[in-house]
Structure 1
Amino acid sequence: MRQRAFDAAVTGIGLVTPAGIGLEPSWDGLCAGVGLAATDPVLAGLPVDFSCAVPGFDGGALLGRRLTWRIDKFIQLAMVAAREAVADARLDTATWDGPRVAVVLGVASNGGDRWPVEYGNLAGGRVESISPATLPRSLPNMVAGEVSADLQAVGPCLTTSTACASGATAIGTARDLLRAGACDIAITGGTDCARVEMGSAAFYRMRALSMRGQDPAGASRPFDADRDGFVLSEGAGIVVLERPEYARARGARIRGYLSGYGASSDGYHHTRPDPTGDGARRATLAALADAGADLSEVDHVNAHGTSTPLNDRSEAAMLSSVFGRTPPPVTSLKGAIGHTLGAAGAIDAAITVLSLERQLIPPTANLDRLDEGMDLDVVTKKPRAHRMGGALTNSFGFGGQNAVLFFRAA
């Protein structure tokens, strides 16, 4: 590269996704290239009654019954992923310098697992039956607070909320804390649990969800001509970032580097993306400028690719505009695991680091016929071996909020 801004070393990854619990199960499930949505008993009776669920997730068994009694699932998912990421980085929480370890996590919706029960108590005049844990178990900032306490990572601790860009925004913010010298290590990423009745009903009323109830596994179809909306999901993605000199001094294995971060706002509409993709384009160019990289150094794009008609069309137009040609190979993980909202950007980031490390791109599930007018080279059907030195991840959210990350291979 011509010039390098501050590179944060990625030393650990933790994943909890509908493809599996853990880094390797999630990677293997995504590489299988099949849709994982299924009828969801949690959503029974609603117009959209299917989702992508994390298989076999038992918070009590993984974290202890006492803890899981007082925290909502979005926090449970993050805690499991954070523990794996720290273990993967070969860090010892008992001996590290806790005040020099930051926690920055992104949340979009947080789920609100218990709110229907507590509202029922309120509506029924049973105020004394409302759990005193109602607020601390569901406030978005509590995920960072709980992870901080669990790991004794007691440096800067915050939660970002930029809708479906939240996880990527958190990772970019954590990199900035490292760059500023506020910490040596950052536990960062995103989490969400959108498999709740109100979430399904509200997104249905917005006409954002796929209605392919007769074929849930084929419902999420990024960039496909027959896509009709996204699929609700849940999950968490956590990465450990370190100052490179700190990581090298302790002999850490470095999986990759976060070199660039760019953010922008569309200023266009509260839910619809700018059809020209201008805001996303500005975030992309900002990420590359931050990394001191040019377009020739982008060998892969992990797309936001939600499977909604408007988002995919806007993102495809943006990529063609930025590259001025067919962009490098593109994939969207949402074909397999649906839309994890605030966790999406973080899961995408983690998988992008693994793609660079393994020189392999997971396929986009359910893409049978690329939509007309999209000049994209989308990886489909099976993983693609591809020589890569750098890759972009795109994350866009309601409110026109955009976050783009640029990673380099180690």
Structure 2
Amino acid sequence: MKQPIAITGRSAISSMGTDQAEFAEARHNLTFDRKLNTWVGKLPENLQKAVKNLQNSTRNYQSLDPSVLYAMYTARETVAQAGWQKGADFGINIGSSRGATQLFEQYYSDFLKEDKSSTLASPTTTLGNISSWVAQDLQNNGPDISHSITCSTALHALLNGVAWLQAGMCDKFLVGGSEAALTPFTIAQMQAMKTYSRASANSNFPCLAFDLKKTENTMVLGEGSASVCLEIGEMPNALAYVAGVGYATEKLKHAVSISAEAECFQKSMQMAIADADSPSIDAVVMHAPGTMLGDSSEFKAINAIFGENMPLLTTNKWKIGHTFGASGLLSLDLAIYMLQTQQFVDVPFVSPQAKFKKLDTVLVNAVGFGGNAVSILLRKA
């Protein structure tokens, strides 16, 4: 890393709400949806109301998909914390795996009934819709980028922000991910792949993310958004620093597969550690989606890298579900919380790990369909 990248603002919304202290609670924030007949990670009612108020604040926002509104909500909070002014010079890169899922399905359903499309169907369902509307809301002067790299989307946005800053093309960058895909069709797709949790409505932990002893897949889909403000160099208001970045893509044997020892993760973690020149990693926030292969392969990759010097391992998906394109930044938010509070947040149904040690560095992992792995190394501010 040529220069450290300071994180000067953060905001996140999920089924956990907005309070970072909720990370430490040994209970999940998933709900059993009777209409969908399965577990999901929904935003709590107070947040749904706040997002609805944002949507109704101006006529132009009333036609926007929740994925866009979630991103706008967290973006406002993030830049306010960083002290960035509306109309300032900064770039934006906020991505999504699925994009405007709810609107797209609604418009297509209407098309099948009426044999014609709504005027706003195209502009409100394009993937670039997210960053474009965030840019309109914040009136920034700078590049506005949207993209999808499935479940590693948010961390790829962070990679892009780092690259622009290190290249001297921007001084500040807002990056993030947003997802609002709790729809019957999306969940049916996950169930068709046999990755979705089949836990009963009274299950204590419907998503057994990072439980290597589970005998079936337990992924649960969640919704949410997260973003951070990046600035180059040491900053007095830094929450944490991006010390190293890594990325890799492995050769696939199947469209949704990952190798038994997650070669892509081994490469991305090694790159991030080398980039930071930091052989000592205190904790890893795993991608760990709650699937048998996904969890075990990532664990094997971590073991291959660290061996006897295994860092503390955790994940948040057992608590809030897998939020697809937003998941990487929500994991990063957990890492920031642990660095700031010096409190390691473990997974309640996993065996206790090594004795607590000071948290100076936390590695955050994400991977998506296509074997696209990203590892971001944070250090304490």
TM-score surpassing 0.5? yes
Structure 1 segment 241-260 matched on structure 2, within 5 A: 241-244=230-233, 248=235, 252-260=236-244
Contact 2:100–2:127 (8 Å) recurs in 1: no
**1:28 pairs with 2:10:** no
- Looking at structure 1, the residues matched to 104 and 85 of structure 2 have their Cα atoms a distance apart, in angstroms, of 36
Contact 1:328–1:377 (8 Å) recurs in 2: no
- Looking at structure 2, the residues matched to 288 and 29 of structure 1 have their Cα atoms a distance apart, in angstroms, of 29
Question: Which residue in the other structure is 1:271 paired with?
Answer: 256
Contact 2:282–2:361 (8 Å) recurs in 1: yes
- Looking at structure 2, the residues matched to 63 and 90 of structure 1 have their Cα atoms a distance apart, in angstroms, of 24
Secondary structure at 2:302 match in 1? helix
Contact 1:50–1:216 (8 Å) recurs in 2: no
Structure 1 unmatched ranges of 5 or more: 371-375, 379-383
Structure 1 segment 292-303 matched on structure 2, within 5 A: 292-294=277-279, 297-303=280-286
Specify the code of the residue in structure 1 equivalent to 2:78: A
**1:16 pairs with 2:3:** no
Specify the code of the residue in structure 2 equivalent to 1:16: I
| Pick aligned residue for 1:212 from 175, 199, 211 | 199
Cα distance change of structure 1 residues 125 and 62 upon mapping to structure 2, 3 Å threshold: closer
Question: Which residue in the other structure is 1:191 paired with?
Answer: 178
Deviation of residue 290 (structure 1)? 1.6
- Looking at structure 1, the residues matched to 307 and 27 of structure 2 have their Cα atoms a distance apart, in angstroms, of 31
Cα distance change of structure 1 residues 117 and 105 upon mapping to structure 2, 3 Å threshold: closer
- Looking at structure 2, the residues matched to 73 and 40 of structure 1 have their Cα atoms a distance apart, in angstroms, of 18
Q: Provide Cα deviations, 1:246-304, integer angstroms capped at 9, x if missing partner.
A: xx4xxx5111111111111121231121112211100111111222222xx21110111
Specify the code of the residue in structure 1 equivalent to 2:221: L
Question: Which residue in the other structure is 2:275 paired with?
Answer: 290
- Looking at structure 2, the residues matched to 346 and 103 of structure 1 have their Cα atoms a distance apart, in angstroms, of 14
Deviation of residue 358 (structure 1)? 1.5
Structure 1 segment 28-177 matched on structure 2, within 5 A: 28-41=21-34, 44=35, 46=36, 48-56=37-45, 57-58=48-49, 59-65=51-57, 66-94=59-87, 96=88, 98=89, 101-127=90-116, 130-177=117-164
Question: Which residue in the other structure is 2:364 paired with?
Answer: 393
Question: Which residue in the other structure is 2:290 paired with?
Answer: 307
- Looking at structure 2, the residues matched to 81 and 173 of structure 1 have their Cα atoms a distance apart, in angstroms, of 19
Deviation of residue 166 (structure 1)? 0.6
Contact 1:38–1:216 (8 Å) recurs in 2: no
CA RMSD between the two structures? 1.9
Question: Which residue in the other structure is 1:373 paired with?
Answer: none
Cα distance change of structure 1 residues 173 and 270 upon mapping to structure 2, 3 Å threshold: same
Specify the code of the residue in structure 1 equivalent to 2:54: L
Deviation of residue 194 (structure 1)? 2.2
Cα distance change of structure 1 residues 123 and 273 upon mapping to structure 2, 3 Å threshold: same
**Percent of aligned positions that are identical:** 24
Structure 1 segment 327-342 matched on structure 2, within 5 A: 327-342=310-325
- Looking at structure 1, the residues matched to 304 and 109 of structure 2 have their Cα atoms a distance apart, in angstroms, of 51
- Looking at structure 2, the residues matched to 170 and 151 of structure 1 have their Cα atoms a distance apart, in angstroms, of 18
- Looking at structure 1, the residues matched to 184 and 260 of structure 2 have their Cα atoms a distance apart, in angstroms, of 30
Secondary structure at 2:221 match in 1? coil
> TM-score, structure 2 length as denominator?
0.93
- Looking at structure 2, the residues matched to 104 and 400 of structure 1 have their Cα atoms a distance apart, in angstroms, of 21
Deviation of residue 221 (structure 1)? 1.0
- Looking at structure 1, the residues matched to 40 and 260 of structure 2 have their Cα atoms a distance apart, in angstroms, of 27
Question: Which residue in the other structure is 1:349 paired with?
Answer: 332
Specify the code of the residue in structure 2 equivalent to 1:171: L
Q: In the comparison of the two structures, how many residue pairs are matched?
A: 374
Q: Provide Cα deviations, 1:159-202, integer angstroms capped at 9, x if missing partner.
A: 23211111111111111110011111101011111211111001
Cα distance change of structure 1 residues 385 and 92 upon mapping to structure 2, 3 Å threshold: farther
- Looking at structure 1, the residues matched to 85 and 357 of structure 2 have their Cα atoms a distance apart, in angstroms, of 35
Structure 2 unmatched ranges of 5 or more: none
Secondary structure at 2:326 match in 1? helix
Deviation of residue 234 (structure 1)? 0.4
**1:403 pairs with 2:370:** no
Cα distance change of structure 1 residues 111 and 364 upon mapping to structure 2, 3 Å threshold: farther
